[in-house]
């Protein structure tokens, strides 16, 4: 990576490895991370990270944000399994931030990113994840994503 000038991708990859170790330590021996193979020992995952992170970095340098988004989205989709949820969530958040820069598609990428962030919020226990969160009469909470953070519209009032 470094030999090909992908310094940002290199830093991001090592930050993700450090994050995995921090999650493992924070969760302790009963954590799902404790029994997993460390990210740096999984060559297939490292290859995917290398390929798409470097393509995303190249796209960013050329100000091709839609291509950057597509590469990060590919990583989010690749890591869509229970053991890699944290990586999936990380890349969906990156997509959300990049989608704000894409203006040529009429807001499609931004809407897609909002949708994914809303699903992550719901999956992590947001108000829409419970049966009481929404009712047929419309008395439920509306969830919006603002600046990368999902929030309940009643909290804004």
pLDDT of residue 35: 78
Task: Give burial (CB, 10 Å; 0-12/13-18/19+) of 26.
Answer: exposed
In eight-state DSSP terms, residue 147 is T
- Give the number of domains in the chain: 1
pLDDT of residue 120: 85
pLDDT of residue 128: 53
pLDDT of residue 153: 42
The parent domain of residue 76 ranges over 2-156
pLDDT of residue 21: 86
Name residues whose C-beta falls within 8 Å of residue 151's C-beta, 6 or more positions apart in sequence.
143, 144, 145
pLDDT of residue 146: 44
pLDDT of residue 12: 94
Residue with tokens 């991001």: 12
Written as one string, the DSSP assignment of 29-85 is TTSHHHHSPPGGG-HHHHHHHHHHHHHHHHHHHTT-HHHHHHHHHHHHHHT-SGGGH
By percentage, how much of the chain surpasses pLDDT 90? 40
Task: Enumerate the β-bridge partners of residue 149.
Answer: 146
pLDDT of residue 152: 41
Q: For the chain, which ranges sit under pLDDT 50?
A: 129-157
């Amino acid at each position: 990576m470094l030999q090909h000038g992908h310094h940002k991708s290199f830093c991001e990859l090592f930050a993700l490895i450090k994050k995995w170790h921090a999650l493992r330590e924070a969760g302790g021996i009963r954590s799902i991370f404790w029994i997993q193979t460390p990210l740096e020992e999984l060559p297939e995952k490292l290859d995917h990270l290398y390929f798409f992170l470097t393509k995303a970095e190249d796209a960013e340098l050329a100000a091709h944000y839609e291509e950057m988004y597509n590469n990060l989205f590919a990583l989010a989709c690749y890591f869509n399994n229970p053991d890699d949820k944290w990586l999936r969530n990380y890349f969906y958040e990156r997509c959300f931030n990049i989608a704000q820069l894409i203006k040529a598609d009429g807001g499609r990428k931004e809407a897609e990113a909002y949708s994914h962030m809303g699903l992550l919020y719901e999956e992590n226990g947001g108000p829409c994840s419970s049966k009481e969160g929404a009712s047929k009469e419309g008395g439920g909470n509306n969830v919006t994503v603002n600046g990368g953070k999902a929030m309940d519209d009643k909290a804004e009032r």
